[in-house]
């Protein structure tokens, strides 16, 4: 594995990769934004094909919300260009606004109205006819399981219900491109799963493009076709969930042995493994796939050593953030495989 590649090269390569058969929904080159001395975005390149889910993953303050704000015409970048379905977000903001829907980090609902009134308000603002507005409202209430609460004041809603209503309001105008800024932050596990299901259905049923920001690897893993990791205003990695997980050294299999002799034998077989003499265990890097596990077990079988127990440790949020969103003392991070990313793009 090469470790000298500068991480952002991969992102650039992906962004400029030969166009696939799908047209590009969102593209950005060299987006920069600072507030005073604080650089929030330091040159972001993106290319998101139509009908896919893209996740921007990063810790608090990485610049995720700022990216969404620029792409959704809320603020303007200091430098760089961004196109939404071919329309420039700065020069042609109004065309962009007819195509997008935004659901922000904090539920943007009118807390003084009922759920139904909120949706009807959106219908009016999307300039739907009265009957079309009513039909769409009823349809969305039904679909989001809010029919019972339709006439209740939004102020009485739980966090999960508010988020659902928020997303429903975004959908009133049938946007082709939807920005979801941390759609499940602060939700309980049940509401989060509901939200995921709704988001996935949007793509499979209606072919919309979704730009999602999240702090949760699990969420990105669950939903996104491609994930980019943002840290301190820079993209430090980009790829599919699988590609990213492979980059994270946190993924490993831990095998425990009965005694030191077995451990020593096994350690000789797995050159790249880490030995833990005290626990009589061997930590072998792994992506946790069945193929990989079978290979490890086969290798162990071949030597005739007896493994006492085996645990699979898949990379989690901490692994991603501690490695990819580079603290200075973190282990060196390999760049995502540019070749794989480009190949995938061209085989679409």
Partner 1 sequence: MSTATLAPAKPAKPTRSYALRDSLTMLRRNIKHMQRYPSMTISILVMPLLMLLLFVYVFGGALGAGIGAGGDRGDYINYLVPGIILMAATSGAVATAVSVCTDMTEGIVNRFRTMSISRGSILTGHVMGSVLQVAAVLVLVTGVSLAIGFRPDASVVEWAAAAGLLLFLAFGMAWLSAAMGMGAKTVESASNAPLPLTFLPFLGSAVVPPESMPTALRWFAEYQPFTPINETLRGLLLGTDIGNAGWIALAWCTALAALGYFWSRAVFNREVTR
Applying CB under 8 A, the residues found at the interface with partner 1 are 35, 72-76, 81, 83, 85-88, 91-92, 94-95, 97-98, 100-102, 104, 106-113, 117, 121, 124-127, 153, 169-170, 173
Between 160 and 288, whose beta carbon lies closer to partner 1?
160
Q: How far is CA 15 from CA 79, 269, 273, 323, in A?
A: 17, 40, 35, 23
Between 107 and 282, whose beta carbon lies closer to partner 1?
107
Extract the runs of DSSP E, i.e. beta strands, from the chain: 24-35, 38-49, 53-57, 79-84, 87-88, 100-103, 177-181, 209-214, 226-231, 234-239, 252-257, 274-276, 281-285, 307-313
Between 56 and 335, whose beta carbon lies closer to partner 1?
56
Between 125 and 261, whose beta carbon lies closer to partner 1?
125
- Closest separation between CB of residue 158 and partner 1, Å? 17
Between 50 and 110, whose beta carbon lies closer to partner 1?
110
Burial annotation 54-79 (CB, 10 A radius, 16+ → b, else e): bbbbbeeebbbbbbbbbbbbeeebee
- Closest separation between CB of residue 321 and partner 1, Å? 27
- Closest separation between CB of residue 142 and partner 1, Å? 22
Phi and psi at residue 177, in whole multiples of 5°? -130, 125
Of 239, 226, 216, whose CA–CA distance to 9 is shortest? 239
């Amino acid at each position: 594995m090469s470790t000298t590649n500068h991480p952002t090269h991969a992102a650039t390569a992906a962004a400029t990769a030969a166009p696939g058969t799908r047209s590009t929904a969102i593209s950005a080159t060299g987006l920069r934004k600072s507030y005073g001395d604080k650089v929030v975005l330091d040159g972001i390149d993106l290319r998101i094909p139509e009908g896919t889910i893209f996740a921007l993953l990063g810790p608090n303050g990485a610049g995720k919300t700022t990216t969404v704000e620029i792409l959704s015409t809320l603020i303007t970048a200091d430098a760089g260009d961004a196109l939404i379905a071919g329309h420039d977000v700065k020069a042609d903001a109004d065309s962009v606004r007819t195509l997008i829907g935004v659901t922000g980090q904090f539920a943007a609902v009118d807390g003084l109205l009922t759920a139904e009134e909120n949706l009807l308000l959106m219908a009016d603002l999307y300039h739907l006819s009265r009957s079309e507005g009513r039909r769409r409202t009823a349809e969305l209430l039904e679909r989001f399981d809010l029919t019972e609460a339709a006439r209740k004041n939004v102020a009485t809603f739980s966090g999960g219900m508010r988020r659902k209503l928020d997303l429903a309001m975004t959908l009133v105008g049938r946007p082709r491109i939807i920005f979801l800024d941390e759609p499940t932050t602060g939700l309980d596990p049940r509401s989060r799963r509901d939200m995921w299901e709704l988001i996935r259905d949007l793509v499979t049923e209606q072919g919309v493009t979704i730009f999602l920001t999240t702090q949760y690897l699990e969420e990105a893993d669950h939903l996104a076709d491609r994930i980019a990791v943002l840290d301190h205003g820079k993209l430090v990695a980009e790829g599919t969930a699988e590609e990213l997980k492979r980059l994270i050294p946190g993924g490993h299999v831990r095998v425990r042995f009965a005694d030191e002799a077995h451990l020593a034998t096994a350690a000789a077989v797995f050159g790249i493994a880490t030995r833990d003499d005290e626990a009589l265990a061997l930590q072998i890097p792994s992506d946790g796939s069945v193929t990989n596990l079978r290979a490890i077990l086969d290798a162990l079988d071949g030597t005739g050593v007896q493994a006492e127990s085996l645990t699979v440790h898949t990379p989690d949020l901490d692994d991603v953030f501690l490695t990819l969103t580079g603290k200075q003392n973190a282990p060196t991070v390999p760049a995502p495989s540019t070749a794989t990313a480009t190949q995938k793009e061209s085989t679409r």
